[in-house]
Homo-oligomer: A and B are copies of this chain.
Amino acid sequence: MAELSGKSIIGFQQGGGEASIFGINPATGEKLQPGYAAASGAEMDRAVDLAAESAASFGKSTGADRAAFLRKIADNIEAIIDDLAALAPQETGLPEGRIRMETGRTCGQLRLFATVAEEGSWVDARIDHADPDRAPVPKPDTRSMERPLGPVAVFCASNFPIAFSVAGGDTAAALAAGCPVIVKAHHSHPGTAELVGQAVIAAVKDCGLPEGTFSLLYGPGREIGQALVQHPSIKAAGFTGSRAGGQALMKLAADRPEPIPFYAEMSSINPVFILPEALAKRGEALATGLHGSLTLGVGQFCTNPGLTIAANDASLEPFVSKLAELVGGSPGATMLNPGISDAYDSGANTLGGNNTVDIVAQGESGEGQCQARAALFRTTADAFLADESLGAELFGPSTLVVTHDGTDKMLALARSLEGQLTSTVHGTDADLEANRELLDVLETRAGRVLINGFPTGVEVCHSMVHGGPFPATSDGRSTSVGTNAIHRFTRAVCYQSFPDTLLPAELQEANPLGIRRMVDGVTS
């Protein structure tokens, strides 16, 4: 196991301070060593100052340089996969196999962004040549491309200690774009964060990049996290967490003297609509698939199917019975931390205690602490439409089945939904053809619409949209997974009448990088 320091990483230096933050093994309550010291205000300032100083040179590094850096990070992380697989399960209760898979995903994601940076066309280079003879006024030469915003703050998520944390999607996207990154570690997995942080800062050194390219800070979110978002040199931030936490930071970002883009992924109940013929023809398989999806990762996925909508017809009861049987037989499982476990228990109690809601089934109780019991709830469309508390996210292994009496009520339900990361429809060809309006409505409510699948499992690829209208995220124009995430951290700059030698290579007349460009309106 690599040595853990229990300190923040401030560029090439180690932070100071006394240990005050301890990982907790959620299953046993054991306090894990080493403890971590909270970064001081001065340490945070130094990390941000270093990032600001490095922003110009890192922002001008070539795509090839950044690709080599991202690949080096991936190599360094793979080199410690056994350490991660040993430590992260202790900190998070997640099984070793999941940590190995998540580490692989994270390295694949870093390498995918490397190919994007290296290929270079992502900058959307556009050239409009001058026309000195145009009347009544000559046309100037203008050229534009995406440029990095500057230092970015990234908040680690509790539920993906590798893939949405220190070297996760936002970090990969920001580094690929040419933005220095300052990560705020999550208190739930401080050691895992340090292991990955060491891998990243080693890559910074290996690649000869400026010191401020990366820092990792520990500390209470309300202090260090809020201060980071408010720091004048931070130009954008990415966050994955609760709706309350995300909204508090959104407000801070918007209320700054200079407001900044703030990307929070917050709250989604990921409705699954099951259409009648599909329910009749394959209700049992749907119950099995849904159960697998809602219990995956102890239900601690942003895309957990928390809402299941089906018509109250003859096919419903066999489906619900099968799902109840599966949920009832689900073993107890360890949640990420006591806060999440308490919130799930409390939310499940509240939902189950609502007098319009039936508790159809509950899973087994596990042994040890932070054990989640899977749960299946049921209510009617009328009750759901009348009580918006039934649409609140319950983060954990549960779903609420909402029954309706026909298309109009189903559409009313769809229209009542807040913004979602995903919406899913199960249907036969005939079902789908008869319910195009449902698909049209869901497209306006979600970043990703799935047919005959389950929302858990978010593919890392070019066409992924892991985002969605508020409150799923703070900014539905953006994605936190997939290569389009690079645009979170950039803005276009137009260069007018620049001599060729002063232009970025991407915009020079001879196209030395050989990237795809739009020239006088024609892309090639």
Contact = CB atoms under 8 A, between A and B. Distances in A.
The 7 closest A-B pairs by CB, nearest first: A465-B494, A126-B463, A144-B463, A448-B494, A450-B496, A254-B254, A128-B461
A150 B415 CA distance: 14
A449 B453 CA distance: 48
Contact of A448 (B126, B450, B476, B496): B496
Chain A interface: which size bin? Answer: 35 or more
A511 interface: no
Interface stretch (A13-21, A223-231, A437-445): A437-445
A69 to B, nearest CB: 21
Interface of A: 55-56, 60, 101, 115, 121, 126-128, 136-137, 139-140, 142-144, 147, 149-150, 250-251, 254, 258-259, 261, 418-419, 429, 432, 436, 439-440, 443-444, 446-453, 457, 459, 461-465, 467, 469-471, 474-479, 484, 490-499, 502, 516, 518, 521, 523
A37 to B, nearest CB: 33
Contacts of A258: 418-419, 469-471
A60 B437 CA distance: 12
A139 B458 CA distance: 10
A469 B490 CA distance: 11
A419 B493 CA distance: 12
B432 A499 contact: yes
Q: How many copies does the complex hold?
A: 2
A470 B259 contact: yes
Contacts of A447: 491-494
A147 B492 contact: no
A502 B439 contact: yes
A440 B498 CA distance: 13
A471 B258 CA distance: 7
Contact of A449 (B121, B128, B136, B493): B493
Contact of A479 (B56, B139, B492): B492
